[in-house]
Amino acid sequence: MDGSGSREEELSRLIADDYAGKILTATYKNPMSVQQISRTCSIPIAVAYRRVAKMEEFNLIRCVGYEEVYRGKKVSYYQCAVNVAKVTFSAGRFNVEVDPLPESEMVHVGEPSAERA
Protein backbone atom coordinates (compact mmCIF):
# COMPACT_ATOMS: atom_id res chain seq x y z
CA MET A 1 0.00 0.00 0.00
CA ASP A 2 2.80 2.39 0.88
CA GLY A 3 4.55 1.68 -2.45
CA SER A 4 1.34 2.58 -4.28
CA GLY A 5 1.08 5.89 -2.47
CA SER A 6 4.64 6.85 -3.31
CA ARG A 7 4.06 5.87 -6.95
CA GLU A 8 1.01 8.17 -6.97
CA GLU A 9 3.16 10.95 -5.49
CA GLU A 10 5.88 10.36 -8.07
CA LEU A 11 3.29 10.45 -10.87
CA SER A 12 1.76 13.66 -9.50
CA ARG A 13 5.21 15.29 -9.33
CA LEU A 14 5.94 14.16 -12.88
CA ILE A 15 2.65 15.54 -14.24
CA ALA A 16 3.27 18.85 -12.44
CA ASP A 17 6.87 19.06 -13.74
CA ASP A 18 7.48 21.97 -16.12
CA TYR A 19 9.58 19.92 -18.55
CA ALA A 20 7.03 17.09 -18.61
CA GLY A 21 4.28 19.61 -19.35
CA LYS A 22 6.27 21.05 -22.24
CA ILE A 23 6.91 17.54 -23.61
CA LEU A 24 3.24 16.52 -23.36
CA THR A 25 2.15 19.73 -25.10
CA ALA A 26 4.75 19.49 -27.88
CA THR A 27 4.02 15.84 -28.65
CA TYR A 28 0.23 15.86 -28.26
CA LYS A 29 -0.53 15.25 -31.95
CA ASN A 30 3.01 15.56 -33.27
CA PRO A 31 5.42 12.68 -32.59
CA MET A 32 9.00 13.84 -32.02
CA SER A 33 12.41 12.36 -31.40
CA VAL A 34 14.11 13.22 -28.11
CA GLN A 35 16.45 15.51 -30.05
CA GLN A 36 13.47 17.39 -31.51
CA ILE A 37 11.84 17.56 -28.08
CA SER A 38 15.05 19.00 -26.63
CA ARG A 39 15.27 21.71 -29.29
CA THR A 40 11.55 22.55 -29.45
CA CYS A 41 11.06 22.71 -25.68
CA SER A 42 14.48 24.22 -24.82
CA ILE A 43 15.29 21.29 -22.55
CA PRO A 44 18.90 20.08 -22.14
CA ILE A 45 19.31 16.83 -24.12
CA ALA A 46 20.30 14.70 -21.09
CA VAL A 47 17.27 15.96 -19.15
CA ALA A 48 15.02 15.31 -22.16
CA TYR A 49 16.20 11.67 -22.39
CA ARG A 50 15.66 11.11 -18.65
CA ARG A 51 12.26 12.78 -18.61
CA VAL A 52 11.02 10.89 -21.69
CA ALA A 53 12.15 7.59 -20.12
CA LYS A 54 10.36 8.40 -16.85
CA MET A 55 7.22 9.55 -18.69
CA GLU A 56 7.24 6.36 -20.77
CA GLU A 57 7.51 4.31 -17.56
CA PHE A 58 4.30 5.99 -16.32
CA ASN A 59 2.54 5.64 -19.71
CA LEU A 60 2.32 9.41 -20.18
CA ILE A 61 4.20 9.25 -23.47
CA ARG A 62 4.54 6.38 -25.91
CA CYS A 63 7.06 5.38 -28.55
CA VAL A 64 5.03 5.37 -31.76
CA GLY A 65 7.74 4.25 -34.15
CA TYR A 66 11.21 4.81 -35.40
CA GLU A 67 13.17 5.74 -38.47
CA GLU A 68 16.51 4.40 -39.55
CA VAL A 69 18.78 7.40 -39.98
CA TYR A 70 22.26 6.07 -40.68
CA ARG A 71 23.78 2.59 -41.04
CA GLY A 72 21.19 0.86 -38.92
CA LYS A 73 21.00 3.61 -36.28
CA LYS A 74 17.37 4.18 -35.34
CA VAL A 75 15.71 7.26 -33.93
CA SER A 76 12.58 6.67 -31.84
CA TYR A 77 9.58 9.00 -32.00
CA TYR A 78 7.38 9.71 -28.99
CA GLN A 79 3.83 10.99 -28.68
CA CYS A 80 1.79 12.19 -25.74
CA ALA A 81 -0.42 9.30 -24.60
CA VAL A 82 -2.62 11.36 -22.28
CA ASN A 83 -6.07 12.66 -23.09
CA VAL A 84 -6.88 13.98 -19.58
CA ALA A 85 -4.83 14.05 -16.38
CA LYS A 86 -6.21 15.06 -12.98
CA VAL A 87 -4.26 15.39 -9.75
CA THR A 88 -6.11 15.85 -6.48
CA PHE A 89 -4.87 15.99 -2.91
CA SER A 90 -7.32 14.89 -0.26
CA ALA A 91 -6.93 13.71 3.34
CA GLY A 92 -3.15 13.84 3.05
CA ARG A 93 -2.95 11.68 -0.09
CA PHE A 94 -2.46 12.34 -3.77
CA ASN A 95 -4.86 10.84 -6.25
CA VAL A 96 -3.93 10.85 -9.91
CA GLU A 97 -6.33 9.97 -12.69
CA VAL A 98 -4.97 9.63 -16.22
CA ASP A 99 -7.26 8.94 -19.16
CA PRO A 100 -5.21 7.64 -22.07
CA LEU A 101 -5.38 9.07 -25.57
CA PRO A 102 -7.39 6.63 -27.71
CA GLU A 103 -5.23 4.36 -29.87
CA SER A 104 -7.05 5.71 -32.94
CA GLU A 105 -5.53 9.14 -32.24
CA MET A 106 -1.95 7.89 -31.99
CA VAL A 107 0.25 8.64 -35.01
CA HIS A 108 2.60 5.84 -36.04
CA VAL A 109 5.98 6.77 -37.48
CA GLY A 110 8.48 4.90 -39.62
CA GLU A 111 6.55 1.68 -39.99
CA PRO A 112 7.03 -0.22 -43.25
CA SER A 113 4.88 1.43 -45.87
CA ALA A 114 4.23 1.58 -49.58
CA GLU A 115 6.79 4.38 -49.97
CA ARG A 116 9.61 1.81 -50.19
CA ALA A 117 7.75 -0.48 -52.57
Per residue in 43-85, pLDDT (tens digit) is: 999 999 999 999 999 999 999 999 988 888 899 999 999 999 9
Portion of the chain with pLDDT greater than 90, in percent: 58
When pLDDT is averaged across residues 87-97 and rounded to a whole number, the result is: 85
| Average pLDDT, rounded, for the chain | 87
- Is residue 106 within 8 Å of residue 82, measured between CB atoms? no
Identity of the residue numbered 106: M
Asked if residue 116 is part of any domain, the answer here is no
When pLDDT is averaged across residues 85-112 and rounded to a whole number, the result is: 84
Asked if residue 111 has pLDDT above 60, the reply is: no
What residues have CB less than 8 Å from 112, skipping those under 6 apart? none
DSSP letters, 54-116, are HHHHTTSEEEEEEEEEETTEEEEEEEE-EEEEEEEEETTEEEEEEEEPPGGGPPPBS---GGG
Asked if residue 5 has pLDDT above 80, the reply is: no
Distance CA 77, CA 60 (A): 14
Domain around 9: 2-105
What is the model's pTM?
0.82
Max alpha carbon distance in the chain (Å)?
60
Asked if residue 115 is part of any domain, the answer here is no
Q: Report the DSSP beta bridge partners of residue 82.
A: 100
Number of domains in the chain: 1
Asked if residue 28 is part of any domain, the answer here is yes
Distance CA 101, CA 95 (A): 19
Domain of residue 50, CATH code = 1.10.10.10
